[in-house]
Chain A
Amino acid sequence: MASFRKQKLWGAVFAAGAVAATGVVWADIGENRSLIVNGEIEMIVEAPAPEHVEGLSTIYSGWVFRSPETQMMQADDFDNPAMLDVDTARETFETAMGTEGQSCASCHDTPESLSTVRATYPQWDEEHGEVQTVEMQITECMTERMGAEAYGYDSAEMRRMSALISAVGRGEVVNVAIDGPAQSTWEQGQEIYYTRYGQLELSCANCHEQNYGNLIRADHLSQGQVNGFPTYRLRNSGLVSIHNRFRGCIRDTRGETFAVGSPEFVALELYVASRGNGLTVEGPAVRN
């Protein structure tokens, strides 16, 4: 009796193991693996995994997992609905705000002068002694330099401004620093990434490292990269921030999430961004 049961057990373990060993096949990842935006910005949507990512050999942009229709929308700014938000933010960039009578343009001239920002954030900020996200940097400029009131971390204005910072950085190769003073924050993020949260006991890695390419109900799991953020989600007809996406994913584990803008999510963002070192900035990307 016992040996019969054992045989069954091994059969199943073997079958499950075989699935894992075969791994992800091309068809699961999507046929389209070339993205050139506006006929000129060449994206790297597939690259060797950085050394510090032990669980992956190749990294893929979330773009390759989407349907051809959604993919197409991202290839041309006329079809990308997020570009309206980017245009609005361009105007805001030139508008004086706050007690100092300054606009973003007073210090930064054009948004294009900030083209390397998205690819290198989150980044250690010496003055504040902490790792800063793009949103935190925007807040710092507004409150400490312009004398303006801060946008909410996940407000529509903030998502638009961060979409502009991404848009002008498209095509830059993501290269987030993980050593030096940022190292302990990065390690905290890594720990969060591999923790199995919630009543479903699922970690980011369970879905995005072990199961990318697989369907979970109707969704095609990607590697959960952040190079396309803020993303324009067709389902919500609007921009979604990185931390809001993290919230949604932890909520879906029947877990208690961390707050948008919390130190935990800043650390997680640094870690996840570093898993995409070698891909190009694509934000604002289009998602279903």
Chain B
Amino acid sequence: MKRQVILAAGIALAATTLHADVTAPGDVVADDYGDIMESLTGEPGDAERGREIMVTRGLGNCIACHQVTALEDEQFHGEVGPSLDGVGDRWEEAALRGIVVNAKNVFPESVMPAFYRVDGFIRPGDGYTGGPATEIMPILDAQQVEDVVAYLMTLTE
């Protein structure tokens, strides 16, 4: 009995710790330039995972719109957005985080989607089914955003 209680308490603690460190989409603070200083998770991003997210259709699918020379082994890079070559030089980490979370804070009216926002949409869908959304999840989760930012920081010239 006693052991069970302790175990339960331990799990509860782990859950809150995890929760406390992850900033929910609605709680993200961006400054006037759209920059986001604080990591969304407190965990360093993993650039290798970020690379995968950049090229995966159901996740970031960033290359649908952007050309990236370092990702040349992947087919089909888009031309809707600028090349991301050298973005690690052009932007600070906080600015890149801001762009990925909600590009419209940085570039008003941008066609670039907000990857970590859950409200304000018109007729949001249930993924790519064409049906109505029941619960809206951000396109990328907090750690995935950090992973992408870590990858973008490696794009230096």
Contact = CB atoms under 8 A, between A and B. Distances in A.
Interface of A: 5-6, 8-9, 11-13, 15-16, 19, 195-202, 206-207, 210-211, 214-218, 221, 247, 250-257
B113 A256 contact: no
B125 interface: yes
Contacts of A221: 80
Contact of A5 (B64, B80, B92, B125): B92
Contacts of A251: 125, 128-130
B133 interface: yes
Given A9-B33, A13-B107, A206-B111, A257 B82 contact: no
A201 B121 contact: yes
Contact of A254 (B78, B90, B124): B124
27 contacts: A8-B95, A12-B82, A13-B107, A15-B82, A196-B122, A198-B123, A198-B125, A199-B121, A199-B124, A201-B104, A201-B113, A201-B121, A201-B122, A202-B111, A211-B80, A214-B78, A214-B80, A215-B76, A215-B79, A215-B80, A216-B64, A217-B78, A218-B76, A251-B130, A254-B127, A256-B131, A257-B125
Contact of B130 (A5, A201, A216, A257): A257
A254 B63 CA distance: 17
Q: Which of A6, A201, A218, A257 has the most CB of B within 10 A?
A: A201
B114 interface: yes
A250 B61 CA distance: 17
A257 B132 CA distance: 8
Interface string B110-153: 01011000000111111111111100100100000000000000
A210 B123 CA distance: 22
B106 interface: yes
Given A200-B113, A251-B128, A251-B129, A12 B90 contact: yes
B122 A195 contact: yes
Contacts of B106: 9
B75 interface: yes
Nearest to B77: A215
Interface string B43-86: 00000000000000000010111000000000111111010000
9 closest residue pairs by CB, A with B: A251-B130, A214-B79, A218-B76, A217-B64, A200-B113, A256-B132, A256-B123, A257-B130, A255-B125
**Secondary structure type dominating chain B contacts:** loop
A257 B131 CA distance: 7
A256 B128 CA distance: 9
Q: Which of B79, B107, B132 has the most CB of A within 10 A?
A: B79
A9 B139 CA distance: 25
Given A199-B113, A221-B80, A251-B128, 11 more contacts: A6-B33, A12-B82, A197-B123, A198-B122, A207-B111, A215-B79, A217-B64, A255-B122, A255-B124, A255-B125, A255-B130
Contacts of B126: 256
Contacts of B136: 199
A286 B61 CA distance: 28
A199 B104 CA distance: 13
Nearest to A257: B130
A5 B35 contact: yes
B69 to A, nearest CB: 16
A236 B125 CA distance: 24
A217 B107 contact: no
B122 A202 contact: no
Nearest to A220: B79
